[in-house]
Amino acid sequence: MTFRLVFMLLAAGLLAACASNGRPAPARSPALFVDCRGAPSASPTVILESGAFGSAADWDLLLDDLAKGGRVCAYDRAGIGRSPPRTGGPGVAAIALELKDLLDSLGESRPVILVGHSNGALYIETFAAMWPDRVAGLVYVNGVNSDALDHPDLVRDLTVERRWAIVAALGGDVGLSGQVSDMLTGVSGFSGRAADRKRQDLSDPDALRVARDEDVAVIDGLKVARGLGGSPRAIPTAVIAGSTDPDASLSKSWKVAEDAPALRARQRLIIDVPNATHTSPLGRDRGYVATAVDWLRGTSRGLP
C-alpha cells in the first residue's frame, strides 16, 4: 500500500547528492486545475480523486475510457501540479471542503460519482459523510478508509508510509525533487503523456511538501472520518481491491478494511483484481474501475 521502495531509493540518493536539477516549478493557475472529458449526460458526472503523491495525471487513461459514458473530471489538489497553493490545512475535512468548492465552481448541482484511489478514498469517504446528498455513488480503489483503524497492523503500515513521505519531501528540500519525481513516476507504472505530467507535477519541492503534509495527516484523518460516521449506507458503494500477495497477513487485513464500506452499503459491488499492484487499476487493470463506474451509472438511472 506504499511507495516504500521508491523512498528507500531516495534515502540512498540523499546520501549521495544534494544538487538541484534546475527544472522549473509547474505553472500555477488561479483555480484548482481540472481535466474534464466527455459530454454531460443523464448519468452523474464522475470525479476522480488521486492518492498520496498523486495528481490528475494518474487518471489520464481512465479519463478517456470513462468519457465514453458521460462527463468525467480529475483534478490536482491545492498545492500540487497545476493547482495554486493551499490556503487551509492538509486535513481530510479541509480537502473535502476544497472538493465541494470545486464542484460548485464546475456547476455540479446534481449528485456526482466519486472515485478515490488509495488515500483518495479517505477524502471521498469524508466528503460523503459531510455532504451525502451530493454523492450518487462511491468507488474505492485499493482504498484507505476509516475501517483501517480496526487493524493495528494497518495503522503501523500507514505510520511507516508517513515516514517515507517525510523522506520524499526532504529530497525536494535538498534539491532532489527531479529524482523524487522520476522515482515516483517509475514505480507507478505510468507511461507516455501521463508519466510526463506526473513527473512535472511532482518536480516542485513545494508540491512534495504538500503531498507529505497530506500523508502525515492521514491517520488523524481516519479518526475524523469515523467520527463523521463514514460513508452513509444509503450511497451505492463499489470496492476494487487486489494484491500481488493476497495470502500475506498484511494483505488480508487490508482486504477486510477495504471491503467494509461496501459490505455496509445497501447497494454494493466488490471486485477482486487478481495479481493487482497498488496502481495497476489506474492503468493495466483500469477496466475494473470502468465496470464499477458503469454499475453506478446504472444505479443512478434506477437500473439494477
Q: How is residue 258 written as a grid cell?
A: 477495504
pTM of the model: 0.88
Pick among 3.40.50.300, 3.40.50.1820, 3.40.50.2300, 3.40.140.80: CATH of 4-300: 3.40.50.1820
Say how many CA atoms lie within 13 Å of 267 toward its Cβ: 17
Residues of the chain with pLDDT > 90, as a percent, come to 73
CB atoms inside a 10 Å sphere around CB 36: 17
Structural domain boundaries in the chain: 4-300
The pLDDT, as a whole number, for residue 181 is 73
Asked if 235 and 132 count as a contact pair (C-beta separation under 8 A), the reply is yes
d(CA 10, CA 130): 37
Higher pLDDT, 258 or 28: 258
53 has pLDDT over 60:
yes
Residues of the chain with pLDDT > 70, as a percent, come to 87
The 10s digit of each residue's pLDDT in 6-25 is 444 344 343 333 333 333 33
The pLDDT, as a whole number, for residue 295 is 97
Q: Find the mean pLDDT for residues 204-225.
A: 94
Q: Find the mean pLDDT for residues 225-249.
A: 97
Q: Find the mean pLDDT for residues 161-179.
A: 81
* Residues contacting residue 142 through CB under 8 Å, at least 6 positions apart: 1, 117, 118, 121, 240, 241, 242, 258, 276, 278, 281
Helix (H) or strand (E) holding 215: helix 205-216
Any idea which of 61-70, 87-96, 182-191, 220-229 has the lowest mean pLDDT? 182-191
Q: Find the mean pLDDT for residues 69-73.
A: 97
Confidence band of 243 (pLDDT split at 50, 70, 90): very high
What one-character DSSP code corresponds to residue 271? E
For 73-99, give one letter per residue: b (16+ CB within 10 A) or e. Answer: bbbbbbbbbbbeebeeebbbbbbbbbb
Higher pLDDT, 87 or 45: 45
Confidence band of 300 (pLDDT split at 50, 70, 90): low
- Distances 156 to 19, 90, 91, 161 between C-alpha atoms, Å: 33, 21, 19, 9
d(CA 240, CA 259): 8
